[in-house]
Amino acid sequence: MSFEWRDIAFGDFVALQRGHDLPDQERRPGNVPILGSFGVTGFHDTVKANGPGVTIGRSGASFGVAAYTDKDYWPLNTALYVTDFKGNDPKFVFYFFKEFDFSGYNSGSAQPSLNRNNLYGIPIRVPQASVQKQVAGFVSALDDRIALLRETNATLEAIAQALFKSWFVDFDPVRAKQQGREPEGAVQGCTSATEGRMSVAALDAETAALFPDSFEESELGLVPKGWRAGNIGDNTVYLSRGISPKYLEEGGVLVVNQKCIRDFILDLSKARRHDPVQRKIDGRELSIGDILVNSTGVGTLGRVAQVLSSDELMIVDSHVTVVRASENLTWNYLGLSMMRRQVEIERLGEGSTGQTELNRSKLAALKLIIPPKETLLAFDEVALPLRQRFAVNLKQAQTLATLRDTLLPRLISGQLRLPDAEALAGEAGA
């Protein structure tokens, strides 16, 4: 493959124009994507620019943020958009913009601002169009696989939560027996990223027999007969914050921090490393099933995630609380319960603005229903495979994302040839 690169001016690469005003009151229902400073911000019924389209955020927090659509679209005035790709591959242009450092071309004062005239004279180096297309195709294929894994995980998690709600919030099997109907709440179908749909079917007789056919009063209101109310503190074996780490660049122990916990997912790419020689970690090692709760700060306090897999020793820092289920519960039940109640947990924070804290005693006092252990184990048989599949997919998606983010700048700059990138992707199982 010929890697012919050329030195040109930015203005010979693409032509840019400021996007167009579209006040909220003028937006009408439609399927035309509105491409703003952070990507698609809504839909409209009128096309303003033909796809494929690429935009760059013009100012503020979106300064230099690139977005892409393959459809006809409406570019907002919060972004610059490409009006002429000048023979270059649109997807490559998008990836080029993602890697380009726009920070040195700020024309604003109070806040960053991007002006196309400041860009046009910048010297850049790009490959010929045929190579652009191949590079873009390779990176786009990684993006597609990551998107599929994330979409599959959204489905897996939604089904697990729907089953949890059916069994332990709406008490559907109990109500069905009370009304003389056949209880439902079992998953039928597949759990992989490439297989078909899942559905809910009738419970088998053995599982249905675990549910009573009536309710009784408790401090949490009506609960299935024989079930009880309790609190988190009395049904955990460990409920504590982490340590103040002694950081190092390599080696040591992985430290989960607040940035790692978002959207109910544990993202270890944002973790740091701790030197256990300087500060001991005895007894603080994380276990599979541990629930992690962000416990300080505005905007992050109360976020919940769960350790579903681990390839190495991990701890948390002092801004994260670890909750570990006792033998009265299963970690799967407690994790799903706390994730459902994240908004409620966020409200438990106390303190002044910017200094909000989640007191451990508040978390411990949080009430929850304690079903019989046999019922919890039966639920795990149904729901745990979904979450285990979720963990596998999550790990694969994060591996692919790391690979993409490592290879992309080298491909865009010409430091890495595409065959070498494909070989590296193969070695990583991509």
Q: Per-residue pLDDT tens for 219-271?
A: 999 999 999 999 999 999 999 999 999 999 999 999 999 999 999 999 998 99
pLDDT recorded at residue 153: 95
Backbone angles phi, psi at 174, to 5 degrees: -70, -45
Q: Would you mind telling me the total number of residues written for the chain in this entry?
A: 430
Average pLDDT over residues 335-359: 88
Domains observed in the chain: 5-127 (3.90.220.20), 139-213+372-430 (no CATH), 231-370 (3.90.220.20)
What is residue 345's three-state secondary structure?
A: helix
Element housing 118 (H / E)? helix 116-119
Q: Can you name the residues that pair with 184 across neighbouring β-strands?
A: 202
- What is the DSSP code (8-state) at residue 249? S
Compute the distance between CA of residue 130 and CA of residue 145 in angstroms, rounded to an integer.
Answer: 23
- State the pLDDT at residue 36: 83
By CB neighbour count within 10 A (0-12 exposed, 13-18 middle, 19+ buried), where does 126 fall? buried
Question: 303 near 275, Cβ under 8 Å?
Answer: no
User: What mean pLDDT, rounded, does the chain reach?
Assistant: 90
- Output 213-222 pairs: Cβ under 8 A, ≥24 positions apart: 213/174, 213/177, 213/178, 214/174, 214/178, 215/171, 215/174, 215/178, 218/369, 219/367, 220/367, 220/369
Q: Give Dmax over CA atoms of the chain in angstroms.
A: 77
CA distance readout (Å), 356 to 255, 305, 343, 350, 364: 22, 19, 15, 5, 18
Residue 344 tokens read as 């409620």
Query: Residue 56 carries which DSSP code?
Result: E
The yes-or-no verdict on residue 117 having pLDDT over 90 is no
pLDDT at 195 over 70: no
Q: Residues 361-373: pLDDT tens digits?
A: 999 999 999 999 9
Q: Check: pTM over 0.75? Answer yes or no.
A: yes
**What are the C-alpha distances in Å from 103 to residues 8, 19, 94, 206, 248?**
20, 20, 17, 63, 29
Instruction: Check if the beta carbon of residue 85 is closer than 8 Å to that of residue 96.
Output: no
Structure tokens at 357: 């804290």
pLDDT for the residue 2: 45
Q: Per 3-state DSSP, what percentage of the chain is helix, strand, and coil (rounded to 5)?
A: 35, 25, 35
Query: Model confidence at 193, in pLDDT bands (50, 70, 90)?
Result: very low
Residues 6+ apart with CB under 8 A from 291: 304, 305, 306, 307, 322, 323, 324, 325, 331, 334, 335, 338
